[in-house]
């Protein structure tokens, strides 16, 4: 009897230890999130729930490979991953992400910006929760536009061209360009292109079957507009062909650009007297679009997704939901500058005091479009980058470049 009691006691202890050990969550997220606020709230979650949080912080380039390796190995290395919007189709189609659609509160979903939810969705199912919002925005030097006789930002692409022609002046190192862009042959080029494609009423990239249609309609007009800014009207800095987003921000802050497209944060950098030659002159507005459209933009939000082979899915879901708490969302904006995903927070007086024209950001997110939601996105993006750049360098006409890209992508899909 004593032996049986002892054995039973050991089993109970082992069961207890196993349950405690199971209450752990391993999170893979980007190194940008190590800057205090996210790790602080992960620690708070651990303290409040008793669920241990193990964090692995890696650069953006490493994160993709680590997820793929873990998923292919079949070993549940991570419970939660920081998910880039462009990875969602590939990871979901491969069965690597846990479909949490039926685990979510519909009332909470209704309060989120649809563009942010779209970043973690594929074919009508939801594979994570967005944890910050992001999109391209329109930034302009208000003084430059006023000096040229304009009393506000352009509302259409035709007006953007008109403004750019009027503002471009000077020569050499003192040259002021109407527009500067991040058109290096890289992902930044695709982001600007997508925003311009959907600024045309007939702009589309892929059809409902995932086949390219960007060699017709507004997608061709968008590329022609880009080429004309550079070569016909000469109102886009030719250095745009080698620029990434940071270069564009620097041009704006140096007073060499009147108008740019970029992600959040450009206003703060351009208006900071410590880093800018034009402090107090830069404002944010909606990206112009052709009537009857009001605006268009490219989305860049990221989410927290749960791996399908996660050892602790339920604990992982608690963690993801905790990081989506409204107060956490406010705190990460106040302390980290990550824009919230709740629609009504863009009317919050406390947050509005921190950023000029704060409501504009919330409105711009509502005009968002995802980059092509296709499984082979990385390969497709590479093809588009090459051919769009060929057109910008005038090696091919916009129509020929996009026809060639469509042919290559159809061959890839076949």
Q: Mean pLDDT, to the nearest integer, of 375-399? A: 97
CA distance 347 to 102: 30
pLDDT for residue 64 is more than 90: no
pLDDT for residue 183 is more than 70: yes
Sign of the torsion formed by the C-alpha atoms of 182, 36, 274 and 334: positive
The DSSP result for 59-74, as a single string, is: -HHHHHHHHHHHHHHT
pLDDT tens-digit series, residues 251-264 = 999 999 999 999 99
What pLDDT, on a 0 to 100 scale, did the predictor assign at position 57? 85
Q: At the top level of CATH, which class does the domain 19-134+300-369 belong to? A: alpha beta
What pLDDT, on a 0 to 100 scale, did the predictor assign at position 36? 60
What pLDDT, on a 0 to 100 scale, did the predictor assign at position 337? 83
| Mean pLDDT, the chain, integer | 90
pLDDT for residue 136 is more than 90: yes
What pLDDT, on a 0 to 100 scale, did the predictor assign at position 206? 95
CA distance 166 to 406: 36
pLDDT tens-digit series, residues 194-249 = 999 999 999 999 998 889 999 999 999 999 999 999 999 999 999 999 999 999 99
Tell me what percent of the residues of the chain surpass a pLDDT of 90: 70
Is 88 in contact with 119 (CB distance < 8 Å)? Answer: yes
Topology annotation, domain 137-298+376-413: D-Maltodextrin-Binding Protein; domain 2 (3.40.190)
pLDDT tens-digit series, residues 28-39 = 987 665 456 777
What pLDDT, on a 0 to 100 scale, did the predictor assign at position 32? 60
Is 180 in contact with 321 (CB distance < 8 Å)? Answer: no
Structure tokens at 268: 């703060």
Closest CA to 304 of 45, 1, 110, 18: 45
pLDDT tens-digit series, residues 323-366 = 888 988 998 888 878 899 999 999 999 999 988 899 999 999 99
CA distance 118 to 369: 9
CA distance 403 to 216: 9
β partners of residue 53: 25
Dihedral of the alpha carbons of 370, 371, 373, 374, in degrees to the nearest 10? 180
| Domain locations along the chain | 19-134+300-369, 137-298+376-413
Q: Do domains 19-134+300-369 and 137-298+376-413 have the same CATH topology?
A: yes
Confidence tier at 172 by pLDDT (50, 70, 90): confident
pLDDT for residue 160 is more than 90: yes
Cβ burial 212-239 (10 Å sphere, 16+ → b, else e): bbbbbebbbbbbbbbbebbeeeebbbeb
> Which of 31-35, 166-170, 398-402 shows the lowest mean pLDDT across its residues?
31-35
């Amino acid at each position: 009897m004593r032996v049986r009691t002892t054995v039973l006691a050991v089993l109970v202890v082992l069961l207890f230890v196993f349950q405690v050990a199971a209450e752990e969550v391993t999170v893979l997220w980007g190194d940008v999130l190590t800057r205090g606020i996210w790790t602080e709230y992960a620690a708070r979650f651990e303290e409040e729930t008793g669920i241990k949080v193990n964090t692995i912080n890696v650069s953006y380039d490493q994160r993709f490979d680590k997820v793929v390796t873990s998923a292919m190995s079949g070993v549940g290395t991570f419970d939660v991953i920081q998910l880039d919007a462009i990875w969602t189709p590939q990871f979901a189609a491969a069965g690597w992400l846990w479909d949490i659609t039926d685990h979510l509160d519909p009332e909470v979903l209704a309060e989120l910006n649809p563009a942010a939810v779209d970043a973690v969705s594929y074919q009508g199912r939801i594979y994570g929760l967005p944890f910050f919002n992001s999109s391209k925005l329109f930034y302009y030097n208000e003084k430059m536009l006023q000096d040229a006789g304009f009393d506000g930002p352009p509302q259409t692409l035709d007006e953007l061209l008109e403004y750019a022609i009027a503002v471009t002046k000077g020569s050499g190192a003192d040259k002021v360009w109407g527009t500067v862009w991040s058109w290096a042959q890289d992902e930044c080029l695709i982001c600007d292109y997508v925003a311009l494609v959907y600024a045309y009423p007939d702009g589309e990239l892929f059809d409902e079957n995932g086949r390219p249609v960007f060699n017709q309609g507004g997608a061709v007009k968008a590329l022609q507009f880009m080429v004309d800014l550079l070569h016909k009207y000469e109102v886009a800095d030719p250095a745009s062909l080698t620029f990434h987003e940071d270069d564009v921000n620097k041009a704006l802050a140096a007073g060499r650009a009147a108008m740019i497209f970029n992600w959040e944060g450009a206003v703060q950098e351009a208006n900071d007297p410590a880093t800018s030659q034009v402090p107090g002159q830069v404002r944010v507005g909606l990206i112009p679009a052709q009537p009857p459209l009001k605006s268009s933009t490219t989305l860049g939000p990221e989410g927290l997704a749960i791996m399908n082979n996660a050892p602790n899915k339920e604990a992982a879901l608690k963690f993801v939901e905790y990081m989506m708490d409204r107060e956490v969302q406010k705190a990460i904006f106040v302390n980290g500058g990550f824009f919230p995903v709740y629609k009504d927070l863009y009317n919050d007086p406390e947050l509005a005091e921190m950023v000029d024209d704060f409501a504009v950001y919330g409105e711009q997110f509502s005009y968002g479009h995802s980059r092509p939601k296709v499984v082979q996105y990385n390969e497709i993006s590479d093809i588009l980058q090459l051919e769009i750049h060929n057109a910008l360098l005038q090696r091919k006409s916009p129509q020929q470049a996009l026809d060639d890209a469509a042919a290559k992508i159809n061959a890839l899909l076949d």
